[in-house]
């Protein structure tokens, strides 16, 4: 599960299609056929693989059904059980720390008039551009036995829970921040005025007005962070030392010991917290909707120098921490031989001389991310449109919507393993996909489907259903309306989805670590393999290539969007 880096939206099925019931025409059948194709696609790329994976956990090596025997073996292995405890510990600690930091940061961004808010917002998003291996590599340079500031740890080792928690805080920070800024951005000025009139102290006002208003955001952010940490594999792989967690156990079972059945069992265990978090999050969000009434007066922070500068100091500290971790990786990739020869060099970027697939893996990543963005956006947006605007076929639309929401609860590692089980057997007609770039693209689209879907749905809901009614009465086929009205209107959201898919496909490790072949090594996997071989500086260099690429694409996207909006969205202005 990855975070929701796009706008938070409520996914409740739309009542917007309040159209007079008509008999389904040819046009409707086209949409319905589209829905069937979509449902089949989602079944093949998500449901069937997961089903195969779960059934594997009930089989022995020969494929015979053995009931819960694998689970019993799992429970009786003290090393594996300890991983559950380890995972819960680091996830709990990370959640507490990230929430505290992100809350203060979000409070500064939304409720104060501290200077530099735009810059702070931009800096906080940096971790989204990097694979989770990057903070772990960087932390070794900072706090390892030869680390720049290892004394700060006062004799504690960075290899283990401390390193994992620090790396995960970096990795999850923007996810928590996005949710909390959304939660804090909406507040009712009148509540604060009332509190002031009643003579409430600043502290009391915070406890009785601010915190309750943000509690759903906090719960939601907490679950997102918790799930991200439980399922992340990059940070503990690089810096975990002997501290095993669930995610590394799956990898160890599958890659190290070729024990697929036990890998399936650990995957099933890994699904539990993710699904739990997902369910609670959905419940919480449903209640969040009613928070702000139509008569609310939106909150405008007044200048308060003491508060503003205190928040500025706190945010600066966090932003500095984020930049230091990124900067350390950039620096490490340019140093000849850390720590003995600090002369600058570019030789660590000669990837062809290292383990992991060389420059080819970088180009593969670009191709994979590009295809994921283009194909994924087309599938997701058209699918969302058919679900939102199609008439009739209610159960089918509901089913598609449900399938689209499912990937959010499935960790990348689990989905990757599920793909092996489903696509690898020679009996599967789709077996030819195995080992190709196409399966990586398919896996990435499935992995990041939900956020794109929700974004598309939100954008589509903004279009008045009148358009469809008018087109229908003018006998314009709905796909023409789609092309001439829907797509242009939703262009900002479409670009948003594509960039989200691109960046996530560039940085993902867990989803694809089981699926790449010698021809389709990826940059993020190369980082992992280089670190494995002890080539830490080249690993940092490749991780930085991913950051530079994601940042460049984001920048280009921002410029392009600005231009496009000026060209196509003029109608929005009055």
Other beta carbons within 10 angstroms of residue 469's beta carbon come to 15
Q: Closer CB to other proteins, residue 298 or residue 517?
A: 517
Cβ–Cβ under 8 Å, residues 416 and 512: yes
- Taking the complex as a whole, the smallest distance from the CB of residue 415 to other proteins amounts, in Å, to 15
* Interface residue with other proteins, options 195, 311, 315, 441 (CB under 8 A): 441
Other CB atoms closer than 10 Å to residue 386's CB: what's the count? 25
CA atoms of 233 and 226, how far apart (whole Å): 13
Element (DSSP H or E) covering residue 17: none
Q: How far is the CB of 400 from other proteins (least distance, A)?
A: 13
Residue 485 interacts with other proteins (CB under 8 A): yes or no: no
- The helix or strand, by DSSP H or E, that contains position 5, with its residue range, turns out to be none
State the sign of the Cα–Cα–Cα–Cα dihedral 556, 505, 410, 225. Answer: negative
Q: Is 341 in the site for other proteins (CB under 8 A)?
A: yes
The 3-state DSSP class for residue 520 equals helix
With respect to other proteins, which residue has the nearer C-beta, 301 or 358?
Answer: 358
* Closer residue to other proteins in complex, CB, 57/248: 248
Toward other proteins, which CB reaches closer, 336 or 480?
336
Is 448 a binding residue for other proteins by CB under 8 A? The answer is: no
Binding segment (CB under 8 A) for other proteins, from list 40-48, 100-108, 318-326, 477-485 = 40-48
Note whether 172 and 98 are within 8 A (CB). yes
Report if residue 16 touches other proteins, rule: CB under 8 A.
no
Q: Are 371 and 378 in contact (CB under 8 A)?
A: no
Q: Which stretch binds other proteins (CB under 8 A): 131-139, 172-180, 422-430, 455-463?
A: 422-430
At closest approach, how far in Å is the CB of 403 from other proteins? 12
Q: Does 420 bind other proteins (CB under 8 A)?
A: no
Of 363-392, binders to other proteins (CB under 8 A) are 371, 375
Question: Is residue 135 a contact partner of residue 170, using CB atoms and an 8 Å limit?
Answer: yes
Residues 6+ apart with CB under 8 A from 284: 216, 219, 220
Which of 17, 41, 205, 465 lies at the binding interface for other proteins (CB under 8 A)? 41
Report the greatest alpha carbon distance in the chain. Answer: 78
Q: Is 519 in the site for other proteins (CB under 8 A)?
A: yes
Which of 338, 359, 467, 479 is close enough to bind other proteins by CB under 8 A?
Answer: 338
Alpha-carbon Rg for the chain, nearest whole angstrom, is: 25
Between 82 and 282, name the residue whose CB sits nearer to other proteins.
82
Chain centroid, CA 4 distance in Å: 5
Using rule CB under 8 A, residue 534 touches other proteins: yes
Minimum distance of other proteins from residue 372's CB (angstroms)? 10
Could you give the CA distance from residue 194 to residue 190 in angstroms, rounded to a whole number? 6
Instruction: Evaluate whether 462 touches 389 at the Cβ level (below 8 Å).
Output: no
Q: Exposed, middle or buried: residue 198 (CB in 10 Å: 0-12, 13-18, 19+)?
A: exposed
For other proteins, give the closer residue by CB, 40 or 313: 40
Count of CB atoms situated within 10 Å of the CB of 560: 12
Beta bridge mates, 59: 65
Q: How far apart are CA 521 and CA 359, in angstroms?
A: 10
Instruction: Please state the closest distance from residue 555 (CB atom) to other proteins, in A.
Output: 28
Q: Could you tell me the CA-to-CA distances from 541 to 68, 139, 465, 523, 529 in Å, in that order? A: 45, 15, 50, 10, 13
The single residue among 327, 488, 532, 548 that binds other proteins, judged by CB under 8 A, is: 532
Binding residue for other proteins, selected from 535, 539, 544, 545, defined by CB under 8 A: 535
What are residue 65's DSSP bridge partners?
59
Stretch near other proteins under the rule CB under 8 A, chosen from 25-33, 180-188, 255-263, 549-557: 255-263
Q: Is 242 in the site for other proteins (CB under 8 A)?
A: yes
- For the CB of residue 81, give the shortest distance to other proteins in the complex, in Å: 13
Nearer to other proteins, 195 or 440 (CB): 440
Q: Does 251 bind other proteins (CB under 8 A)?
A: yes
Residues forming the site for other proteins (CB under 8 A): 37, 40-41, 43-45, 48, 79, 140, 144-146, 159, 236-237, 240-242, 244, 248, 251-252, 255-258, 336-341, 352-356, 358, 371, 375, 426, 428-430, 432-433, 436-439, 441-442, 518-519, 532-536
């Amino acid at each position: 599960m990855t975070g929701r880096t796009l706008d938070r939206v409520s996914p409740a099925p739309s009542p917007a299609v309040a159209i007079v019931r008509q008999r389904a025409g040819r046009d409707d059948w086209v949409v319905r056929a589209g829905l069937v194709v979509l449902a089949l696609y989602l079944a093949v790329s998500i449901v069937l693989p997961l089903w195969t994976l779960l059934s594997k956990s009930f089989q022995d090596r020969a494929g015979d059904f053995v009931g819960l025997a694998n689970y019993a073996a799992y429970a009786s292995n003290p090393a594996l059980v300890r991983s559950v405890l380890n995972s819960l510990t680091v996830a709990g600690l990370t959640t507490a720390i990230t929430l505290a930091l992100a809350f203060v940061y979000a409070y500064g961004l939304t409720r104060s008039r501290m200077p530099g808010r735009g810059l702070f917002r931009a800096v906080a998003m940096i971790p989204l551009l990097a694979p989770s291996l990057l903070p772990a590599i960087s932390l070794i340079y900072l706090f390892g036995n030869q680390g720049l500031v290892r004394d700060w740890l006062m004799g504690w080792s960075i290899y283990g829970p401390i390193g994992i928690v620090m790396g995960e805080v970096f990795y999850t920070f923007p996810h928590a921040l996005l949710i909390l800024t959304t939660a804090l951005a909406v507040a009712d000025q009148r509540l604060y005025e009332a509190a002031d009139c009643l003579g409430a102290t600043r502290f009391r006002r915070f406890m009785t007005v601010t915190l309750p208003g943000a509690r759903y955001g906090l719960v939601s952010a907490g679950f997102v962070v918790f799930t991200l940490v439980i399922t992340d594999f990059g940070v503990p792989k690089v810096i975990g030392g002997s501290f095993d967690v669930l995610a590394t156990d799956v990898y160890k079972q599958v890659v190290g010991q070729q024990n697929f059945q036990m890998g399936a069992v650990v995957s099933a265990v890994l699904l539990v917290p993710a699904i739990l978090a997902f369910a609670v999050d959905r419940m919480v969000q449903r209640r969040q909707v009613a928070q702000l009434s139509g008569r609310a007066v939106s909150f405008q922070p007044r200048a308060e120098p003491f508060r503003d500068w205190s928040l500025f100091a706190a945010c600066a500290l966090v932003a500095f921490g984020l930049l230091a971790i990124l900067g350390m990786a950039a620096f490490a990739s340019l140093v000849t031989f850390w720590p003995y020869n600090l002369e600058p060099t570019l030789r660590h970027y000669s990837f062809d001389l290292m383990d992991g697939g060389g420059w080819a893996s970088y180009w593969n990543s670009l191709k994979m991310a590009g295809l994921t963005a283009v194909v994924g956006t087309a599938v997701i947006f058209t699918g969302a449109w058919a679900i939102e605007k199609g008439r009739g076929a209610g159960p089918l639309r509901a089913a598609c919507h449900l399938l689209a929401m499912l990937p959010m609860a499935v960790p990348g590692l689990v989905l990757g393993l599920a793909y092996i089980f489903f696509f690898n057997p020679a009996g599967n007609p789709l077996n030819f996909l195995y080992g190709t770039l196409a399966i990586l693209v398919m896996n990435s689209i499935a992995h990041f489907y939900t956020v794109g879907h929700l974004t598309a749905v939100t954008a589509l809901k903004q279009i008045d259903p009148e358009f469809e009614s008018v087109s229908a009465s003018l006998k314009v086929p709905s796909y023409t309306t789609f092309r001439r009205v829907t797509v242009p209107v939703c262009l900002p959201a479409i670009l948003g989805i594509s960039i989200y898919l691109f960046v996530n496909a560039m940085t993902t490790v867990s989803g694809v670590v089981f699926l790449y072949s010698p021809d389709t090594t990826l940059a993020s996997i190369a980082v992992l393999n280089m670190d494995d071989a002890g080539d830490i500086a080249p690993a940092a260099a490749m991780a930085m290539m991913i950051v530079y690429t994601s940042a460049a694409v984001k920048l280009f996207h921002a410029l392009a969007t600005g231009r496009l909006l000026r060209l196509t969205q003029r109608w929005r202005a009055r």
